[in-house]
Copies of this chain bind each other. A is one copy, B any other.
Amino acid sequence: MSDNAMTPATITWIGDANGFVRLLDQTRLPIELVYRDCRTVQDIWEAIRVLRVRGAPAIGVAAAMGVVLGLQNTPPERFSERLHEVTDYLRTSRPTAVNLFWALERMEKCASQPDNQSLERLWQEALAIQKEDQEMCRRIGLFGADLVAEGSGVLTHCNAGALATSGYGTALSILYVAAEKGRHFRVFADETRPLLQGARLTAWELAQHNIDVTVICDNMAAQVMKEKKVDLVIVGADRIAANGDTANKIGTYGVALLAKAHGIPFYVAAPSSTFDLSRASGVDIPIEERMPEEITFGFGKQTAPTNIKVYNPAFDVTPAELITAIITEKGIIRPVQAANILKVLEG
């Protein structure tokens, strides 16, 4: 991440097409800065599944690189079959973020006519996806930075930062560019149960960039808004339907309702690859449900009775009417309506 030296690279490809992937293991942050080398497609699948790499754009990049790992040393006559095995397998890693499916489709298309250059082409495509991701982050930041006025209070949920992408981030890119412009502001980071991406990752990233950040529990957001400390909310997205309904980390929908109740604008920042125009609305977006132990054994300690029932949806859907605008690398969608979405994406 050349233009953002303060945050370590989330994902790096090491070597040539027969090389491997080095990931920053986000499950270990903020206590330890540990890199993990992935040399097989299984390693990448596991890393996506347990959230060593997470965030919709970063999952797309990791999956593309996983395809390259999965195709190394494959003889030409088995290449097509193996390519589909590998992409089908990676599709099972996480169901909600559409960037995963988008990246895998791109990879399939680029090797649809296998020859002895196919691995090289897949590798170049994965690197291209990563490079585009970095440029996309920067452009989202540039389009959104002026939403952050001097002296603002900003609330964010989960982590839509450099760690969620291979660049500057999406929601946090807007903050980084605003800071570069000399803007002063204060950020409240929801800790984001159960996996605490806000406390562990967003707080860490922003602190590394010397941005004023305060961690709160998710259930404190309403109080902080009531105290008039929040002028705008910015979050990322995992999948956006054709009408603008937005799937993002569980809790986002609640924050959007609280923002509306306090008259605070609510922004979503996401690249065009996050849009899934095949889904008419949010009800069509599959929502991943995760293991109860993420809640009852959060951080190595039992915090609920044995065998208690738990509900653990990983995402929720915020209806378009609660979203003030969506900031993409192609421009700002405002108001959030199907026609406007098409106009900006096709722009």
Contact = CB atoms under 8 A, between A and B. Distances in A.
Contacts of A305: 30, 203-204, 207
A214 B295 contact: no
A218 interface: yes
Given A219-B219, A251-B219, A300 B300 contact: yes
Given A193-B191, A213-B309, A223 B316 contact: yes
A131 interface: no
A277 interface: no
A191 B309 contact: no
A313 B223 contact: yes
A218 B215 contact: no
Interface stretch (A96-104, A174-182, A254-262): A254-262
B302 A300 contact: no
Interface in A287-313: 295-296, 298-306, 308-313
Secondary structure of the A contact surface, majority rule: mixed
Given A207-B305, A222-B257, A188 B311 contact: yes
Nearest to A309: B214
Interface stretch (A41-49, A140-148, A194-202, A332-340): A194-202
Contacts of A207: 305, 308
17 contacts: A30-B302, A194-B217, A199-B308, A203-B305, A215-B311, A218-B218, A219-B251, A219-B254, A219-B255, A220-B312, A222-B257, A223-B250, A223-B313, A226-B316, A257-B261, A299-B301, A300-B301
